[in-house]
Structure 1
Amino acid sequence: MSPNKKQELEDIGELYIKELMSICFFQLDLQENLFGMYSFKMHDLVHDLVLSIGHEEWSEIDSDNKDMASTVRHLSISSSSQQVSKFSNKLTNVRSIMYRNEPHVSSVEACISRFKSLRLLTIPYSDFENLPSSIGTQKHLRYLGLSLNQSIKKLPNSICKLHNLQTLLLDGCRDLERLPKDMRNMINLRFLTISTKDTRLFVNGVCCFNSLQILWVVECPRLECLLPQMDRCLTNLRMLVFVECESLTSLPPIIKHLKALESLYICDCEEIDLTGGGGDAQDLNLRLQILYITNLPKLEILPEWLLGSANTLKHLHIEQCENLKALPEWLPTLKSLQTLEIVECNELSSLPEGIRHMKTLRKLVIIPEL
Structure 2
Amino acid sequence: MHDLVHDLVLSIGHEEWLEIDSDNKDVASTVRHLSISSSDQEVSKFSNKLTNVKSIIYRTEPHVSSVEACISRFKSLRVLAIPDSDFENLPSSIGTQKHLRYLDLTRNQSIKKLPNSICKLHNLQTLLLDGCENLERLPKDMRNMVNLRALAVTTKDTCLLENGVCCFSSLQILSMRSCPKLERLFPQMDRCLTNLRTLGFMECASLTSLIPIIKHLTALEILYISDCKEMDLKEGGGGDALDLNLRLQILDIRRLPKLEVLPEWLLEFADTLRHLHINECENLKALPEWLPTLKSLQTLEITRSNELSSLPEGIHHMKTLRKLKIKGCPQLVTRLQDWSNIPELEFDYEDDEVI
TM-score (norm 1): 0.85
Runs of 4+ in 1 over 2 A off after TM superposition: 43-53, 204-207, 224-230, 276-283
Counterpart of 1:88 in structure 2: which amino acid? S
> Cα 1:98–1:230, aligned 2, differ >3 Å: closer, same or farther?
same
- Percent of residue pairs identical: 81
Measure, in 1, the Cα distance between the counterparts of 2:313 and 2:4: 53
- Deviations 1:101-141, CA, capped at 9 Å, x for gaps: 00000000000000011011000000001100110111110
SS of equivalent to 2:189: coil
Counterpart of 1:353 in structure 2: which amino acid? E
Task: Name the structure 1 match of 2:347.
Answer: none
Measure, in 2, the Cα distance between the counterparts of 1:121 and 1:133: 15
Choose which of 209, 212, 216 in structure 1 pairs with 2:168: 209
Check whether the contact 1:251–1:273 (CA below 8 A) recurs between aligned residues. Answer: no
Counterpart of 2:61 in structure 1: which amino acid? E
Task: Name the structure 2 match of 1:225.
Answer: 184
Measure, in 2, the Cα distance between the counterparts of 1:216 and 1:191: 8
Number of residues paired by the alignment?
329
Counterpart of 1:311 in structure 2: which amino acid? D
Measure, in 2, the Cα distance between the counterparts of 1:359 and 1:281: 26
Measure, in 2, the Cα distance between the counterparts of 1:302 and 1:344: 16
Are residue 368 (structure 1) and residue 328 (structure 2) matched? yes
Are residue 100 (structure 1) and residue 59 (structure 2) matched? yes
Are residue 152 (structure 1) and residue 111 (structure 2) matched? yes
> Cα 1:329–1:49, aligned 2, differ >3 Å: closer, same or farther?
farther
Check whether the contact 1:256–1:279 (CA below 8 A) recurs between aligned residues. Answer: no
> Cα 1:296–1:88, aligned 2, differ >3 Å: closer, same or farther?
same
Check whether the contact 1:197–1:222 (CA below 8 A) recurs between aligned residues. Answer: yes
Match runs of 1:183-262 below 5 Å: 183-205=142-164, 207-251=166-210, 253-262=212-221
Where in structure 1 are there 5+ consecutive unaligned residues?
Answer: 1-24, 26-42
SS of equivalent to 1:192: strand
Task: Name the structure 2 match of 1:276.
Answer: 235
TM-score (norm 2): 0.88
Match runs of 1:1-370 below 5 Å: 50-205=9-164, 207-251=166-210, 253-276=212-235, 281=241, 283-369=243-329, 370=332
Where in structure 2 are there 5+ consecutive unaligned residues?
Answer: 333-355
- Deviations 1:69-125, CA, capped at 9 Å, x for gaps: 001011101111111111111111101000000000000000000001101100000
Measure, in 2, the Cα distance between the counterparts of 1:292 and 1:192: 19
Measure, in 2, the Cα distance between the counterparts of 1:44 and 1:82: 37
Q: CA deviation at 1:206?
A: 5.1
> Cα 1:345–1:132, aligned 2, differ >3 Å: closer, same or farther?
same
Instruction: Select the structure of larger CA radius of gyration.
Output: 2
> Cα 1:348–1:218, aligned 2, differ >3 Å: closer, same or farther?
same
Measure, in 2, the Cα distance between the counterparts of 1:145 and 1:358: 44
Q: CA deviation at 1:44?
A: 11
Measure, in 1, the Cα distance between the counterparts of 2:252 and 2:37: 37
